[in-house]
Structure 1
C-alpha cells in the first residue's frame, strides 16, 4: 500500500480525486462544485492533503481567518475534516496527516491548530479522543460541541458570538449549508424531494461567503439543521435521516 501523500494544487485539481465522494456516482455533481470552491480557497492557504490511493484518507485545513466556520482567532490553522476510512484504518495514516498539519503550522510560524469536535463522538466531526492524544485541549464549548486547540504560544481561538444563539426565529425546518463538501448537493436534493412529498415547509440558506460562515447562529461545519427554532445537528441528511429527525 502506498505511503505517498499528495497535496491538491491548482495544477492537479482537475485530475485528482477528492476522496470522500470517490466511489459514489450520485455525489459527482457535488465534486465539481467542491473543485470550483477550492479554486478560490487554495490561494488563501487552504490545504487538501490525501493519500495517493483510491480511498478516503485525507485532511483539509485552512488559516482560521479564512476558514468557512464560525470560529474566530488569529494565526491558527483550522481543520475542517480529517478522515480515514475502511481498510485504511489502523495504519497510522490519521496520525501522519495530523502531524503534517501541526508541522505545517509550526513552519509557518502559526500560533497553533484548532478543530471542531464534541464531547461524545459524532458523525462528520473529528474524534476528540484522537486529537487529545496529540495535545489538543478544549478552548471553547457550546452544549455538547467543543472547539479544541493545540496552542504553541498560549493564545486561543474561540467560537463566534453568533454560535451561542443555537437557534433562529423561524419554526420551519431550516438548513444552513456550505459549498465545501461534495455530499451537500445530493443531500439538499433528497431533503427537498422529501419535504415536497410530505408538504413540509423548508427553508434552505446557502452559506456562500466567508462573512456568512463566520456568523452562522450555531455550530457549523458545512451544515446546520434547525427545527422549531432550535438547532438540531451538523449531520448531513438524506431522506431517511430527515424522516427520523422529524419523527
Structure 2
C-alpha cells in the first residue's frame, strides 16, 4: 500500500523526516528536527511517500523568501530536496511528490516552483525536472542550475553573480559554513575539522542560522560550504580522502 504522509509540527517526532530515521539520537538528526519545526512556522512543507511502513522518498519545500538556497526569487515555491531511494525509483514516486508541491504552488497563487539542481552531485538531476515541464533559467560556475516551472508570467528567479567575492571574505585557513538543514552536515564537519588539525591547518566553523545568511552563501546550495584561504573547496559533505584530494588540488 502506498501512502503519502504530510509531515508537520504535530507529527514530526513520531513520523521522522526520512533522513537518519534510524538514528534519532544522532546530533544531526536532533538539529534537523529543531530546524524543521522552525521552518514549518514559515510555511515550509515536508512530505514522505511510503510503501507499507517503509519510507521511500520525500520532498521538502517552502516560500522562496525563506529558502535556504542562494537564489533571488519572489513569490515562488523553492524545493530544497527531492529524493527517492533506489528501491523506489522508476515507480513514479518522484512525480507524485513533485505534483504535491506544484499543487500547493497553484493553491497559494505562486508565480511558480523553483529548485537548485545539478548533474554532478546528490541533488535532483535537471533532466527529470525538464521532463516535468521545468526549464533552466540560470547557472553557476560550480555546476548548479536554477530550474523553474512558471505558473504566472513574470520575472524568473536568478542566481547572484558574486560567488568569488563571497568566498574571499574567508581568507585564512579552513572555514566551514554549516547549517542544520541537512542532518549529515555534522559528521562532515567533524571529519574535515579533525583532518585539518592533523595537517596543522586552522579551522573556523560558522553556523548558518537563518535564511538570510544562507542566501548570502558562496555557492547556490546555501547550507554547507568548505572554504580554504578564500577559495571554495566543496559545497557538500565529503570524506577524509576527498577532502585531502581537494586540498592538494587547491595548493
Q: CA deviation digits over 1:95-138, x for unaligned, max 9?
A: 111111111111111110000013xx122322101101111112
Equivalenced residue count is 243
Moved more, 231-240 or 136-145: 231-240
Which residue in the other structure is 1:141 paired with? 139
Instruction: Give 1:46's match in structure 2, choosing from 28, 44, 47.
Output: 44
Instruction: Give 1:35's match in structure 2, choosing from 16, 23, 33.
Output: 33
1:24-173 paired onto structure 2 within 5 Å: 25=23, 28-52=26-50, 53-118=53-118, 121-143=119-141, 144-155=143-154, 156-160=156-160, 162-163=162-163, 165=165, 167-169=167-169, 170-173=171-174
Query: Is residue 19 of structure 1 aligned with residue 10 of structure 2?
Result: no
TM-score (norm 1): 0.90
Tell me the distance in 1 between the aligned counterparts of 2:5 and 2:162. 36
Tell me the distance in 2 between the aligned counterparts of 1:10 and 1:153. 30
Tell me the distance in 1 between the aligned counterparts of 2:206 and 2:226. 10
Query: Is residue 5 of structure 1 aligned with residue 4 of structure 2?
Result: yes
Moved more, 204-213 or 221-230: 221-230
Moved more, 84-93 or 189-198: 189-198
1:162-241 paired onto structure 2 within 5 Å: 162-163=162-163, 165=165, 167-169=167-169, 170-241=171-242
Structure 2: where are the runs of 5+ without partners?
none
Tell me the distance in 1 between the aligned counterparts of 2:168 and 2:177. 11
CA RMSD of aligned residues (A): 2.0
TM-score (norm 2): 0.89
Tell me the distance in 2 between the aligned counterparts of 1:54 and 1:198. 43
Structure 1: where are the runs of 5+ without partners?
none
